[in-house]
Amino acid sequence: MTEKVRCLIIGSGPAGYTAAIYASRANLSPVLYEGMQPGGQLTTTNEVENFPGYPEGITGPELMEDLKKQSQRFGADIRFGYVTATDLSVAPYKVTIDGEKTIEADTLIISTGATAKYLGLADENKYAGSGVSACATCDGFFYRKRKVAVVGGGDTACEEATYLAGLADKVFLIVRKPFLRASKIMQERVLANPKIEVLFEHETLGLTGEMVVQGANLVKRRGEADETQVHIEIDGFFLAIGHKPNSDVFKPWIETDEVGYIKTIPGTPRTNIPGVFASGDVADPHYRQAITAAGSGCQAAIEAERYLSEKGI
């Protein structure tokens, strides 16, 4: 079963829905497939206080529902479905949905996002939205004058620990190795901050607390003769052990960096394939914010419209 569309958008986070709003208002009759997690990463966040236009804040699921409705208002065709294969060798580009349906698209906007990595502890699910977070910029504000822990030893972990130290009373940085992997300047910033205590060679075993996170059970120097069990009292537990951009299904055709982020021409959402654009976290290792994703979704739709009109399609 094959269907031909002028503008196909993959992904339903702020980037995908914003692309759909702009593309539908430009009469491109966009079709958007929502993917595995309709609404994207924000649906796992409670309160969003930094998206402009909501002075009282808004919950992540509500914000995404509003963006979806706004795109539908102008005729965007929003569908359930997941991309299982692609053939971007020649336009129109072929995208297979759920292994059965093929869409032929004159333009393709990839907004599949990135997935934060978790440790794989059952407690991360148990306390999701109740003290466990993978985004300090999103949720740090709720931990003003509280105690938090950040897991990881890279640039993200150091950046988040420093950011949180500006809000919280105390930040534990839980690092599994005896050293930080982050850049020198980030390390220095963390080590010089009196509010941050780095726990080298510590791993997390589990979280504790009634309904919400109140502590974490750690092990120091696991497997060594001097292995020690450690308990810390915390109100928030932040994961900063990396993100995985959801680009695998496009990789045979689209250039990515070594981590998998789609490479775009700087300042634009253009990929190495004409008519194929990438917006949001799948192409953004740096900012990863809802508002920057929305902005790049807008850029992608404008680029798609210009590409189509230049081609006379």
Least distance (Å) between residue 177 CB and ligand NDP: 4
Least distance (Å) between residue 72 CB and ligand NDP: 35
In terms of DSSP H, where are the helices of the chain? 14-25, 60-73, 122-126, 136-139, 155-165, 184-192, 290-311
Amino acid at 95: V
Catalytically active residues are 135, 138-139
Between 151 and 278, CB nearer to ligand NDP:
151
Least distance (Å) between residue 305 CB and ligand NDP: 32
Q: What are phi and psi of 156, to 5 degrees?
A: -60, -45
User: How is residue 239 written in tokens?
Assistant: 């994961």
User: Can you say whether residue 81 is alpha, beta or left, with left for phi > 0 and alpha for psi between -120 and 50 degrees?
Assistant: left
What lies within 8 Å, CB to CB, of 228 at 6+ separation is 219, 220, 221
Least distance (Å) between residue 79 CB and ligand NDP: 32
CB of 106 closer than 8 Å to CB of 92: yes
Between 167 and 219, CB nearer to ligand NDP:
219
Angle value at C-alpha 151, between 149 and 155, nearest 5 degrees:
115
Residues binding ligand NDP (CB under 6 A):
119, 151-157, 159, 176-177, 181, 241-242, 285
Between 198 and 300, CB nearer to ligand NDP:
198
Amino acid at 74: F
Helix or strand (DSSP H, E) at 204: strand 202-208
Residue 34: half-sphere exposure toward Cβ, Cα within 13 Å: 17
Classified as helix, coil or strand, 103 is strand
CA–CA separation, 313 and 311 (whole Å): 5
Between 12 and 156, CB nearer to ligand NDP:
156
Unique residue bearing structure tokens 């938090």: 148
Least distance (Å) between residue 9 CB and ligand NDP: 26
Between 283 and 298, CB nearer to ligand NDP:
283
Unique residue bearing structure tokens 């919950």: 59
For residue 263, the 8-state DSSP code is P
Tell me the CA distances in angstroms from 269 to 67, 118, 255, one per residue in order: 20, 28, 13
Between 118 and 253, CB nearer to ligand NDP:
118
Least distance (Å) between residue 130 CB and ligand NDP: 21
